[in-house]
Amino acid sequence: MSVESLQAKQAVIDEIKDKFERAKSAVVVDYMGITVEEADSMRKQLREAGIDYTVYKNTLVTRAIQGTEFESLAQVLSGPSAFAFGYEDATAPARELNSVIKKLNKMTFKAGIVEGEFYDQEGILAIAKLPSRDELIAKFMGSIKSPVSILITGDRRSESRRRRAGTGSRRTCSSSCGRNACSGRSSCGNACRVVSYGSIF
């Protein structure tokens, strides 16, 4: 093999290493049966979802992942292999590829590494059914919004009851005796006056 060929091969290996080093997850699929048009359309869809989809030779990938957390993928690197890298959302490659597989009724999962853990075909299928990070955030925000609303509403109702409870009037003696009276005159015989009391809010 010429020097130029060796350099070109090493350049590809370095490229593969860089992608694996940056990836939070990598999923391997058998792309047998995919047409060029379908492959181009799939790459576009995956790219828009932030996923890097590339076809590499198994031998080069095997060399690139030696000594890394992705090394266990070597056991499934036989036959046609394509690789989907997730750099932001670790579950995105499995989820988006599963959508493509259902749409085309072609390709199959081989295995994958998600956040350092190896998953076989069934494991990747299970991960593909997990909600996205944005969906999880939305659900979390919804779960904490409701109790806050309840607290605010409850506080307002308590304030309203406190105001109603603290407002009114009573009849009291106009003299210094301060006795209460239920009619126009108190028990001491003096004229009564109406005294209002209540909240100052």
Mean pLDDT of 117-133: 90
pLDDT tens, 11-35? 999 999 999 999 999 999 999 999 9
List beta partners, residue 185.
191
**Least trusted range by pLDDT, from 6-10, 88-92, 144-148, 192-196:** 192-196
Phi-psi label, residue 78: left if phi above 0, alpha if psi -120 to 50, beta otherwise: beta
Q: For all residues of the chain together, what is the average pLDDT?
A: 80
pLDDT tens, 102-119? 999 999 999 999 999 999
For the stretch 23-62, what's the b/e string if a residue is b when 16 or more beta carbons lie within 10 angstroms of its beta carbon? bbbbbbbbbeebeeebeeebbebbeebebbbeebebebbb
The rounded distance, in Å, linking the Cα atoms of 25 and 116 is: 8
- Give the dihedral sign, CA 128/75/65/3: negative
pTM of the model: 0.67
The percent of residues in the chain predicted with pLDDT above 90, rounded, is 60
Q: Which pLDDT value is given to residue 160?
A: 58
